[in-house]
Amino acid sequence: MRIAVTGSSGLIGSALNVRLRAAGHDVHSVSRSPTADITWDPSQGRLDFAALDGVDGVVHLAGEPIAGRWTKKRKQRIRDSRVQGTELMAQAVLRMEIPPSVVLSGSAIGYYGDTGDAVVDESAEQGDDFLAGVVAAWERAAEPMADVCRLATLRTGVVLAESGGALAPVVRASRLFAGGPMGNGRQFWSWISIVDQVRAIEHLLTADVSGPVNLTAPGAVTQREFVKVLGAVLRRPSVMPAPAFAIRALLGEMADALIFTSTRVAPQKLIDSGFVFEHPSLEAAFRAVLGHEDS
C-alpha cells in the first residue's frame, strides 16, 4: 500500500513508519519539515493536495503534545492542532478523484472522561471535561471522510515506550527510588505497548473496522498496580506516594485530566476484529519496551 502518515516524527508515527516500511509499504511522511515527502501547515491551511493523489491509505496522527502545564493558549493549541489538521486532511481526501480506501485518524480515550471503575467500550458516551470536548471535536472533523472511504478513529490510551510519551517520567522516578502511587492510586490507567499500538494500526489498515476503535490492551490497571508492576520489573520499590496536592500544584489542570482521571477501557472492536495482542499483560509490556524480557 501507498500510505501517507502525518505526525510521523512523533512517538507513534516514527515507530509506525519503521514497521510499515519493513512490511514493504510505500510510506510518505506528511510534515511541516521541508524535507518531508509531503509538506503541510495546518495552522495556515496549507497542504500539497496533489502529492496525496494515489495514496491507498492515510494514517493521521498529528497533534500538539498534551503533556505539560495547560495555559489558556496551550489548551487552544492542543485543540486547534487536532481539529485544524483533521479538517485540512478531510478537505484533501474529499477533493481526490480516487480517494484512499481507508483513513485512520488519531483520537484518544480522553473522549470518555472520568469513568471511575466502570469498564467502557466504544459505545460509551462522551465525557464532560476539556479533553473529552477536544477529542469529540477532533472526531467530528474527521467524519466527512467516512462518506468516501472507510474511516476509523484511533482512541489511544497510555502508550508504553522506552523513551518519550507518558511512561518516561514514571520510569525516571522509579529508577530514582521515587516511584509510587499518585494520589490514592485507585484511578484506572488504560495502556498499550508501542509494539501493539503500531501493530494495531497496521491491522486496521486492512481489517473491516470503522468508527471509533479503542487502542488499549485488554488489562487496564489501577495506577497503584501500574507502578507496582513497573517497580518489580525495574527492581525498585514502589511505595513512596506522591501527594495529589503536590502534583496538582506542579501541573495544574493537566494533573486531573491525565493523572487522576480514571478510565477503564475495553478494546472491544479491536478484539472482535481478530487482533491478537503481543503484550496483553502489563508486566510483559514493561519487559518488552524497557529491555528486561530476560530478567
Is position 275 within any domain? yes
Give the contacts of 149 (CB within 8 A, at least 6 positions apart). 93, 99, 100, 101, 102, 103
Query: Taking the model in full, what pTM does it have?
Result: 0.93
Nearest in space to 291 (alpha carbons), one of 155, 195, 178: 195
Query: Grid coordinates in use for 143?
Result: 467524519
Region of 242 please: left (phi>0), alpha (psi -120 to 50) or beta: beta
Is position 136 within any domain? yes
Q: Which of 123-127, 145-149, 170-174 has the lowest mean pLDDT?
A: 170-174
Is position 294 within any domain? no
- Which of 109 and 167 is assigned the larger pLDDT? 109
- Which of 121 and 238 is assigned the larger pLDDT? 121
Instruction: Report the pLDDT averaged over residues 40-55.
Output: 92
pLDDT tens-digit readout, 186-231: 999 999 999 999 999 999 999 999 999 999 999 899 999 999 999 9
Query: What's residue 267's pLDDT?
Result: 98
- Which of 230 and 256 is assigned the larger pLDDT? 230
Instruction: Report the pLDDT averaged over residues 230-241.
Output: 83
Is position 295 within any domain? no
Cβ(228)–Cβ(45) below 8 Å: no
* Gap between the Cα atoms of 42 and 201, Å rounded: 23
CATH value at residue 255: 3.40.50.720
Is position 76 within any domain? yes
DSSP 36: S
Query: What's residue 293's pLDDT?
Result: 57
Query: What's residue 9's pLDDT?
Result: 86
Number of domains in the chain: 1
* Gap between the Cα atoms of 26 and 4, Å rounded: 9
Antiparallel, parallel or unpaired: β 188-189 and 119-120 = unpaired
Count how many residues are written for the chain: 295
DSSP 126: P
Instruction: Report the pLDDT averaged over residues 42-54.
Output: 92
* Domain extent for 13: 2-289
- Residue by residue, DSSP assigns 39-69 as EEEGGGTEE-GGGGTT-SEEEE-------S-
